[in-house]
Amino acid sequence: MKKTLLLASFLLLACDQQTTNLVFNTQNIADQKFLMQADMNVFLDDSMPQDTIESMETSLRLIVTSSLLMAYDDSSARFEIKVDSVEYTSDKRSVEEFRYVEQYLSSQNFQFKMAKDGLMSEPVMDNYVAHPEGDELEIAKLFLKIQPVFPGKPVRVGESWERQHAVTGENNEQMVIYKSFTLEDLFQRNGVMLAKIRMNVCYKQMVNDPDIQMNSEDFVIGSGILLFNVTMGVIEESAIEVNGKLNVTEKFSEQNIPKMRVIQKLKLRSLV
């Protein structure tokens, strides 16, 4: 009888260790610094022979600070992301263009409201000016792609859930990202509980400004892995790769640019 009770207690403990409540700390979190990396390859008309395909590579490195501005009674909070430093390179741009892009990105401080499940809303950009290259140079949308949204209830290892993430930007364009997640593992490291989560995303790309119109002919899709610090309620690190095909039209000339295949690799890592 005693052995049976001990076995039952052990199984119950093991079960508890495989279940967790994934929530962000939105009430008393200290300032956090993150390194964000965004590497993108663009290929023009990949239906052409391989040796004639035009391509461009860009690399973006950002260090940003996330600060809690105000915590609300409903467990949501308002945060601010400030850009501390920017490093940008491209194999098809001059040094002068590098500096211009870095200056443009350095001004992209923004605020947003976030619920404890990670759902972001009400973004406000400082000195926002739309850039014709779209998401590559919009830090808020880069964060939106890599941001997890949790189910709002305890979840077990192996369990999956789906969420939608919609944010309306300063130019009133709404971006909706469909996300699915699977909790793959729970483990201890350096005295904290970490959750390993598989994340899949898909969304429609749309940019419509005075100079160009850009849209995806099908869904842009991506997948990656997130490590979430369950103990502290913060992202530890995240990496995702997305790819899709885009149609681009120059409005002033009504000229269609050859279809572009875009592969973007995003990484986010806590520096604290």
Q: How confident is the model at residue 216 (pLDDT cuts 50, 70, 90)?
A: low
Work out the average pLDDT over 52-67: 84
Residue 12, in any domain of the structure: no
Which of 13-27, 34-48, 108-122, 212-226 is predicted most confidently?
A: 108-122
Cα–Cα distance for residue pair 109/88, rounded to 1 Å: 17
Residue, of 84 and 208, whose pLDDT is higher? 84
Residue 14, in any domain of the structure: no
Cα–Cα distance for residue pair 150/24, rounded to 1 Å: 9
Residue 9, in any domain of the structure: no
Dihedral of alpha carbons 41, 42, 47, 50, sign: negative
The percent of residues above 90 in pLDDT, for the chain, comes to 46
Residue 256's φ and ψ, nearest 5 degrees, are -90, 120
Residue 4, in any domain of the structure: no
With 50 as the cut, is the pLDDT of residue 91 above it?
Answer: yes
Q: How confident is the model at residue 177 (pLDDT cuts 50, 70, 90)?
A: confident
Cα–Cα distance for residue pair 108/23, rounded to 1 Å: 27
Q: Are 147 and 120 in contact (CB under 8 A)?
A: yes
SS3 breakdown of the chain: % helix, strand, coil, rounded to 5?
Answer: 15, 55, 30
The pLDDT of residue 11 is 40
Report in angstroms the alpha-carbon separations of 74 from 14, 111, 116, 117.
32, 18, 9, 12
- Say whether pTM exceeds 0.75: yes
Per the structure, the count of domains in the chain is 1
Residue 212, in any domain of the structure: yes
Report in angstroms the alpha-carbon separations of 216 from 145, 200, 204, 259, 271.
16, 18, 6, 9, 34
Residue 158, in any domain of the structure: yes
The pLDDT of residue 12 is 42
DSSP element (H, E) containing 9: helix 2-17
With 70 as the cut, is the pLDDT of residue 41 above it?
Answer: yes
With 80 as the cut, is the pLDDT of residue 82 above it?
Answer: yes
Q: Check which CATH number belongs to the domain holding 226 and give it.
A: 2.30.230
Q: Are 246 and 262 in contact (CB under 8 A)?
A: yes
Three-state SS at 79: strand
- For 228, the domain range is 23-270
The pLDDT of residue 250 is 65
With 70 as the cut, is the pLDDT of residue 64 above it?
Answer: yes
DSSP track, 139-173? HHHHHHHH-----SS-EETT-EEEEEEEEE-TTS-
Residue 13, in any domain of the structure: no
Residue 159, in any domain of the structure: yes
With 70 as the cut, is the pLDDT of residue 156 above it?
Answer: yes
pLDDT digits (tens, 9 = 90+) for 228-268: 999 999 999 999 999 888 777 666 666 666 677 888 999 99
Q: How confident is the model at residue 13 (pLDDT cuts 50, 70, 90)?
A: very low
Residue 179's φ and ψ, nearest 5 degrees, are -125, 140
Q: How confident is the model at residue 102 (pLDDT cuts 50, 70, 90)?
A: confident
With 50 as the cut, is the pLDDT of residue 7 above it?
Answer: no
Q: How confident is the model at residue 107 (pLDDT cuts 50, 70, 90)?
A: confident
Residue, of 226 and 253, whose pLDDT is higher? 226
Residue ranges of E strands in 30-145: 32-44, 55-71, 77-90, 110-114, 120-125
